[in-house]
Amino acid sequence: MRAITLRRRRWWVAIALLPLLALAAAPLPAESLLSLDVHHEDGRYRLRADMEIAAPAAAVRATLTDYANLTALNPSIRQSSVRAAPAPYDARVTTLLRACIRELFCRELKRVEDVREDPQRLLAVIVPAQSDFRAGRTEWRLSPRPDGVRVSYRAELTPAFTVPPLVGTALVKQGLERELRRLLRNLERLARARS
C-alpha cells in the first residue's frame, strides 16, 4: 500500500510540472516571436525565447514587475504575492500554479523566487527550501528599439521530483513550450495596453 501511495504521490508531483497541457496556446504573430526553444538534460529544463514587442520597454517592465497581478500573464498562475527579500534582491515573489494533464489530473505547484530588478534586466532565483523545485533561475532582458523593445527570456528549472516515464520529458517539454507561448502572448498584449 505504501508503494502505491508513493507512486501516486510522485505522479501528482510530476503533474505539477506540466502546465495545463490541455490548453493549446495560439501562436504569436511571426513578427513578434523570433525564437523559442525548450531543452531537457540531466533533470533540468532550459527555456529560451526572443521576441519583439511594439511597446515601450517601461511598459513591458511594468507588466513583468506587477507581481500582485501575475495571474494576468498566465492563467495557470492562480495566486501571486510579493514581500521583502534579502539583499541584494528587491522582492520575494510567491506564485501558486495549477498544472493539469487534460484537466483530469491537476495539482498546485509552489514557486518562491527572489527577484533582482535592474532597468533592463530582471533576474529571479528560486528559493528551493520554499518551492517545489531544487533549483531555478529566470532572466528577462529588455533591449529598447526605436519601435518597441526586444525581449530575451532565459530560464532553467530543476524540479524536486522525477518525471515518471509514463508522462515523459517530451510531454513536459511540449507543455512548457505551450505555456511559454501563452505567457509571451499575454505579455505583449498587456504591455501594449499600458503604452
Q: Give the pLDDT score at 141.
A: 98
Query: 102-129 burial by CB neighbour count: b if 16+ within 10 A, else e?
Result: eeeebbebebbbbbbeeeeebbbbbbee
Residue predicted with more confidence, 97 or 139: 139
Q: Give the pLDDT score at 181.
A: 86
Average pLDDT (1-8) is 46
Q: Give the pLDDT score at 6.
A: 43
CA distance 178 to 148: 24
Q: Give the pLDDT score at 79.
A: 95
- Model pTM score: 0.79
CA distance 57 to 180: 20
Over pLDDT 70: what percentage of the chain?
Answer: 73
CA–CA distances in Å: residue 108 to residues 23, 50, 54, 164, 171: 17, 28, 34, 18, 18
Average pLDDT (113-122) is 96
**Residue ranges of domains in the chain, CATH in brackets:** 2-194 (3.30.530.20)
pLDDT digits (tens, 9 = 90+) for 12-62: 333 344 432 333 334 444 348 889 888 888 889 899 999 999 999 999 999
